[in-house]
């Protein structure tokens, strides 16, 4: 069974928290790594409300503007499937704020 730390290791291509630190990740906006063959950088200037649900090897993460009701269709949600490596899919097929955040596991991911 994958844990959040295992998924962190897969996402950031590092040995986990021992090698990566929150300050350098936040400062440089780095995700991925040359060692994983999937380097990329991103910036996102909005602070989000985040909801996380872990079920077996899957991790569901919902994002919304702070104060958004979970029942409002103003969430975006991603699924991290850790059953065989790491596969990332989005609710509704795209990272748009048009999902309901009450039960992230019930959304359709592709």
What pLDDT, on a 0 to 100 scale, did the predictor assign at position 26? 46
Which of 18 and 12 is assigned the larger pLDDT?
12
**What does the pLDDT average to over 88-105?**
95
Written in H, E and C, the secondary structure of the chain is CCCHHHHHHHHHCCCHHHCCCHHHHHHHCEECCHHHCCCEECCCCCCCEEEEEEECCEEEEEEECCCCCCCCCCEEEEEEECCCCCEEEEECCCCCCCECCCCHHHCCEC
For 29-71, write each residue's pLDDT tens digit.
445 555 555 555 555 566 889 999 999 999 999 999 999 999 9
- Comparing 8-22, 43-57, 93-107, which segment has the lowest mean pLDDT? 8-22
What pLDDT, on a 0 to 100 scale, did the predictor assign at position 27? 47
Which of 55 and 4 is assigned the larger pLDDT?
55
Any idea where the domains of the chain sit in the sequence? 1-43, 46-110
The average confidence (pLDDT) of the chain is: 77
């Amino acid at each position: 069974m994958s844990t959040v730390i295992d998924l962190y290791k897969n996402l950031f291509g590092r040995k986990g928290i021992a090698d990566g630190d929150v300050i350098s990740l936040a400062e440089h906006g780095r995700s991925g790594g040359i060692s994983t063959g999937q380097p990329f950088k991103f910036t996102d200037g909005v602070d989000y409300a985040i909801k996380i649900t872990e079920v077996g090897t899957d991790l569901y993460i919902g994002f919304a503007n702070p104060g958004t009701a979970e029942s409002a269709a103003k969430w975006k949600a991603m699924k991290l499937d850790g059953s065989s490596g790491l596969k990332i899919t989005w609710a509704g097929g795209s990272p748009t704020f048009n999902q309901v955040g009450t039960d992230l596991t019930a959304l359709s991911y592709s």
